[in-house]
């Protein structure tokens, strides 16, 4: 462990032991933890009448649920198992599970194939282009963030640069968007602004009504069968939500959109280690959504 990390842990431990659990001190403590690890948000929960309730929090990315039953979420899984449930040896991006290998490399596979051994092995970052091109049925995937990545493969890579390149082939531009968002430099464009700058055959899309937008976005952008991106943009300059027909988790970068993409009743073992997830962020409506808006206006 780095000397600076040890020092920060000692300072946090000393502060926790030095005083009582007043709200002010708890807020100071969570801010120390957040600042030490550069987290966007940090909180301490307390169990009150079978619910997790935030006791103290800090940061600029509050959760969708400030209180929830003790049987739900990552906190519920940790309480049931009695163990930490974040697996630091792996992480997820969209439908992809990335695992660190014993040799220092990386092994990528579909998240659904985590327990499968009979996988076709690939060893070049460029292989990601072909893997991402078609779904299981052989159909072309125009939207790379649609939850239709094919199964049955494993991509073994040696270096971090190979990993970055492969993930950019799987999900073009998403790592750059995530980096810009983390540094508060991501420019977010309302849908109406994107529609208004269309020209040629797509100019008609700008005439779409607010109610039609509500329906189109709900159908095209839904995580279950549509797109795994987390929507950051609003409908217009008045900061109106993109669609009231989508669950609020669709707009929460802390929520794993793959959870919403699963059919009802899919098994999700509460005690299994849950890898950290890098969200696929949507800072502006894509060309395919604009095309859907045009279809509505043209009656296609």
Residue 228: closest CA among 145, 115, 106, 155: 145
State the Cα–Cα distance between residues 300 and 290, nearest whole angstrom. Answer: 14
Residue 255: closest CA among 87, 110, 145, 92: 92
Give the structural domain span for 165.
95-170
Residue 216 in contact with residue 297, Cβ under 8 Å? no
Answer with the one of 170, 195, 218 that is the final residue of a domain: 170
pLDDT of residue 62: 67
User: 3-18 and 23-37 helices cross at what angle (nearest 10)?
Assistant: 180
Q: What is the CATH number of the domain that holds 159?
A: 3.30.1360.190
Lowest mean pLDDT among 86-100, 132-146, 151-165, 204-218: 86-100
| Structure-model confidence comparison of residues 223 and 275, the more confident one | 223
Residue 58: closest CA among 86, 87, 95, 31: 31
DSSP 13: H
Q: Which helix (H) or strand (E) holds 212?
A: helix 210-220
Q: pLDDT tens for residues 260-281?
A: 866 544 544 433 445 678 899 9
pLDDT of residue 83: 66
Lowest mean pLDDT among 77-91, 132-146, 199-213, 249-263: 77-91
pLDDT of residue 87: 54
Residue 32 in contact with residue 11, Cβ under 8 Å? yes
Mean pLDDT of 52-69: 79
Give the number of other Cβ atoms within 10 Å of residue 4's Cβ. 9
pLDDT of residue 32: 85
Q: What is the CATH number of the domain that holds 57?
A: 3.30.450.40
Q: pLDDT tens for residues 114-167?
A: 888 899 999 999 999 999 999 999 999 999 999 999 999 999 999 989 999 999
One domain, residues 260 and 155: no
Judge whether 284 lies within some domain. Answer: yes
State the Cα–Cα distance between residues 184 and 3, nearest whole angstrom. Answer: 29
User: 210-220 and 287-298 helices cross at what angle (nearest 10)?
Assistant: 130
pLDDT of residue 115: 83
Judge whether 44 lies within some domain. Answer: yes
State the Cα–Cα distance between residues 283 and 176, nearest whole angstrom. Answer: 11
Residue entry with tokens 């990993």? 163
State the Cα–Cα distance between residues 75 and 54, nearest whole angstrom. Answer: 12
Q: What mean pLDDT, rounded, does the chain reach? A: 86
Mean pLDDT of 25-45: 81
Residue 202 in contact with residue 290, Cβ under 8 Å? yes
pLDDT of residue 19: 59
One domain, residues 284 and 191: yes
For residue 236, pLDDT over 60 is answered with yes
Residue 208 in contact with residue 215, Cβ under 8 Å? no
Helix and strand totals (H; E) in the chain: 10, 11
Using DSSP, state whether 236 is helix, strand or coil: coil
pLDDT of residue 151: 97
One domain, residues 278 and 228: yes
One domain, residues 59 and 102: no
Mean pLDDT of 179-199: 94
| CA-to-CA dists, residue 244 to 60, 85, 234, 248, angstroms | 23, 32, 11, 8
State the Cα–Cα distance between residues 112 and 116, nearest whole angstrom. Answer: 8
For residue 38, pLDDT over 50 is answered with yes
pLDDT of residue 2: 52
One domain, residues 144 and 64: no
One domain, residues 114 and 157: yes
Judge whether 89 lies within some domain. Answer: no
pLDDT of residue 111: 93
């Amino acid at each position: 462990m780095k000397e600076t990390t040890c020092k920060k842990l000692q300072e946090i431990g000393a502060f926790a032991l030095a005083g009582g659990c007043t709200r002010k001190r708890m807020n100071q403590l969570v801010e120390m933890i957040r600042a030490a690890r550069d987290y966007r948000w940090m909180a301490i929960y307390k169990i009150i009448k079978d619910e997790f309730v935030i006791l103290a929090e800090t940061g600029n990315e509050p959760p969708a649920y400030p209180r929830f039953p003790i049987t739900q979420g990552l906190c519920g899984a940790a309480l049931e198992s009695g163990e930490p449930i974040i697996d630091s040896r792996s992480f997820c991006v969209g439908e992809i599970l990335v695992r660190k290998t014993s040799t220092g490399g990386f092994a990528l596979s579909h998240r659904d194939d985590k327990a499968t051994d009979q996988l076709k092995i690939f060893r070049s970052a460029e292989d990601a282009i072909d893997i991402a091109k078609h779904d299981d049925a052989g159909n072309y995937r125009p939207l790379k963030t649609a939850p239709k990545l094919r199964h049955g493969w494993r991509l073994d890579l040696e270096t971090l640069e190979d990993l970055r390149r492969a993930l950019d082939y799987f999900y073009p531009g998403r790592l750059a968007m995530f980096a810009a968002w983390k540094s508060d430099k991501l420019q977010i464009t309302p849908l109406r602004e994107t529609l208004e700058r269309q020209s040629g055959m797509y100019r008609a899309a700008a005439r779409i009504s607010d109610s039609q937008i509500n329906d189109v976005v709900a159908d095209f952008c839904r995580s279950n069968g549509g797109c795994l991106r987390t929507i950051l943009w609003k409908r217009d300059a008045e900061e109106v939500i993109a669609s009231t027909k989508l669950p609020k988790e669709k707009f929460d970068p802390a929520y794993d959109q793959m959870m919403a993409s699963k059919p009802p009743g899919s098994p999700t073992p509460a005690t299994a280690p849950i890898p950290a997830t890098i969200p696929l962020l949507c800072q502006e409506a894509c060309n395919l959504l604009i095309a859907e808006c045009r279809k509505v206006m043209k009656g296609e």
